[in-house]
Amino acid sequence: MPNFKYLILLYFISLSINSYSQSKGAVSGVVVNKENNEPLPFASVTLKNHPIGTLSNEDGEFDFYIPESERNDTIQISFIGFINYEIPVSSALSELKIQLQPSNEVLDEVVLSKLSPLDYIKNALANIDQNYQHDPFQTIAYYREKFIENENIISKKEAVFKTYYTAKGDSAKNQHQILLYKPTENKQDFEFMRDWIDKRIEKEKKKAKKKGEDFDEDFDFEKDMNMGGPETIIDMADIRNGSSNNNFLNPKHFNKYEYTFGKEKSFSGDILVTINYKAKKKIESVKDQGTILISKGDYAIALIQGSGELSIPVVAKPVLFLIGLSVSNPKFSNTVSYQKYKDKWYPKLFRWDAKITLKKRHMFKANEKADLKIGQVFFINQLDSIATPIPKEKRFNTKEDMEDQIYNDLNISWEGMNVIKN
C-alpha cells in the first residue's frame, strides 16, 4: 500500500518546482507536427512583440526563459510551412506540447511563375540593400561547438556572445565579446592514432630536453583544437556584405548550378518561394546542393539549407596512403536563417555540421577507425537596433582560448539564458 504522506509531499514539491519555474519565467515544451506527431527541429519560439526567443532542438524540445519585464507578452511558435501558434505568457504552463498545423494557404504543388528560379535569386541579390539592416545592430547569442569521436564527446564548448554587427559596407569585421563560457563536461580522450601522438610528444620532449628548453608535454585536444568561434560561420553567411562565400549565390558560378522551383511555403505571414540548387560539378573541391527560400513579397532570402561533400586534394592522397591513413570525403550540412523585425531582415541562426571517417592500417595489430562529427551553431535570442562598438580590450580573439576572454559586463547567468536544449 502506498505511503500517502510521501505522495502528498511529492505533490507539494512538484507544485513548488512548477511555481519556481514560473517565477523564473521558464517555459518548457516540445513542438510537433499536428498531422503525424513528428518533432519539428529548430522551430522558432519567440515573444511576439520583442526580439527575444529560442529554438527547439533536434527532438523539437525547448526551454524558453522570459525576462520578468516582458511577461505580459505573447509567445509565438513558428516553423516554415506551418501556421503560427500563439499563447499568452501568463497562460503558458511549464510544460507545453505545441502542435503546429501545416499551412493550407499555399498550394501543395510547385507553383508556376513568370520568373525563372535564377531570376528570383538575382532579384534577391539586387534587393539586399532594402531588405537587410544597413546600420549597426547588436545581438546576444548562444554559441556551441562540438567534436565527437565514435559517439564520445571529445570537446563541446558553449558560450554566450554579445556581437556588434558593423554597418553594411563597412570594411571592419563584426566584433564579439564572450559573456559566459562553459567548458566540456565529462570529456573523453581523443583515441585515434593515440600511440602515434604519444610517440611524437615523447620525441619532441627529448629534443627540448637536449636543447635545455621547457616542453609542455600535456596533450589537451580541447585547447589545441581551435574552431575560430562564431566568426567562422557568421562570415560565411553575412549576406549584407556580399555572397562570395556561397558559390550558388555568386554570379560567376551561376552557370555551374542547376536551379529549380520547389513547393511554395508560408512563414509568419510571408509566402516563400522555394529554389532548389545543385552543383553540376565540383567547384573548388566542393560539390553541394540545397534549398533557398525567398520571400515572394520583397525578395528577401529567409532561409538557406545546404549539404555537400568536400574532396580531399589529389596531392595529399599519396602521402596519406604511404602512412597507411585513409580519409573519407567529408560530408557537410549547413543552415542559415533570418528573422523579420520592423520590416528589416536580421540573422537568426547559423549552423554547420560535418562528418568524416578516418582509418589507419596496421601490419601486426587491429586497424583503427574514427567516425568524427564536428559542428558549430550560433543562434540569436536577443536583438537590439541600438548598438555600441565593443571595446578593443574585450573583443574576442580567435587565436586565444575562450576561457581567458570572458567579460561579463552585463552580469548575466546561464540560468536565465536561452540555449539549444541538450
The answer to whether residues 243 and 186 belong to one domain is yes
Domain tally for the chain? 2
Mean pLDDT for 8-19 is 35
AA letter at 416 = G
Asked if 95 and 188 sit in the same domain, the reply is no
- Taking the C-alpha atoms of residue 349 and residue 337, their distance in angstroms, rounded to an integer, is 5
Q: So what's the pLDDT on residue 15?
A: 36
The verdict on 331 and 266 lying in the same domain is yes
121 with 20, same domain: the answer is: no
Report the pLDDT averaged over residues 388-407: 92
Cβ burial of 383 (10 Å; 0-12, 13-18, 19+) is: buried
Report how far residue 129's alpha carbon sits from residue 135's, in angstroms, rounded to the nearest whole number: 11
Average of per-residue pLDDT across 265-292 = 89
Q: Which range has the worst mean pLDDT, 198-202, 382-386, 406-410?
A: 198-202
Q: Clarify whether residues 260 and 298 are in a common domain.
A: yes
Q: Is pLDDT above 90 for 192?
A: no
Same structural domain, 165 and 270: yes
Tell me the average pLDDT of the chain: 82
Choose between 23 and 279: higher pLDDT: 279
Identify whether residues 229 and 91 lie together within a single domain.
no
Query: Is 106 a domain residue?
Result: no
* pLDDT value at 18 more than 50: no
Predicted pLDDT at 340: 84
Q: Is residue 181 part of a domain?
A: yes
Has residue 265 been placed in a domain?
A: yes
SS3 25: coil
**69 is a domain residue:** yes
User: Quick one: pLDDT at residue 19?
Assistant: 36
Q: What are the CA-CA distances from residue 257 to residues 270, 290, 295 (Å)?
A: 27, 11, 21
Look at residues 194, 143, 211 and name the one whose alpha carbon lies nearest to residue 417: 143
- Quote the pLDDT of residue 391: 96
For residues 188 and 234, membership in a common domain is answered with: yes
> Which of 40-49, 88-97, 367-376 shows the lowest mean pLDDT across its residues?
88-97
Q: Of how many residues is the chain composed?
A: 422
Most confident of 218-232, 269-283, 306-320, 355-369: 269-283
pLDDT attached to residue 295: 92
The answer to whether the beta carbons of residues 293 and 316 sit under 8 Å apart is no
Tell me: do 83 and 121 sit in the same domain.
no
Assign residue 248 a region (left: φ > 0; alpha: ψ between -120 and 50; beta: otherwise).
Answer: alpha
| pLDDT value, residue 233 | 78
**CA 302/CA 345 separation, integer angstroms:** 8
| Mean pLDDT, residues 153-165 taken together | 91
The answer to whether the beta carbons of residues 108 and 274 sit under 8 Å apart is: no
Q: Which of 57-71, 214-228, 386-400 has the lowest mean pLDDT?
A: 214-228
**412 located within any domain:** yes
Instruction: Among 30, 65, 100, give the residue marking a domain's end.
Output: 100
Q: How confident is the model at residue 9 (pLDDT cuts 50, 70, 90)?
A: very low
One domain for residues 270 and 164 = yes
Same domain, 243 and 297: yes
60 and 198, same domain (yes or no): no
pLDDT higher than threshold 80 for residue 269:
no
Numbers of helices and strands, H then E, in the chain: 7, 19
Residue numbers of the domain that contains 265: 117-416
Q: C-alpha cell of 387? A: 548598438
Task: Answer whether residue 112 shows pLDDT above 60.
Answer: no
In a domain, residue 249? The reply is yes
| Position 341 in a domain | yes
Q: What was the pLDDT predicted at 222?
A: 52
For the whole model, what pTM was predicted? 0.80
Q: What is the pLDDT of residue 1?
A: 39
Per-residue pLDDT at 118 exceeds 90: yes
Query: Which CATH number fits the domain that encloses residue 91?
Result: 2.60.40.1120
* Structure confidence at residue 213 as a pLDDT band (50, 70, 90): confident
| Residue 389: predicted pLDDT | 94
- Is 107 part of a structural domain of the chain? no
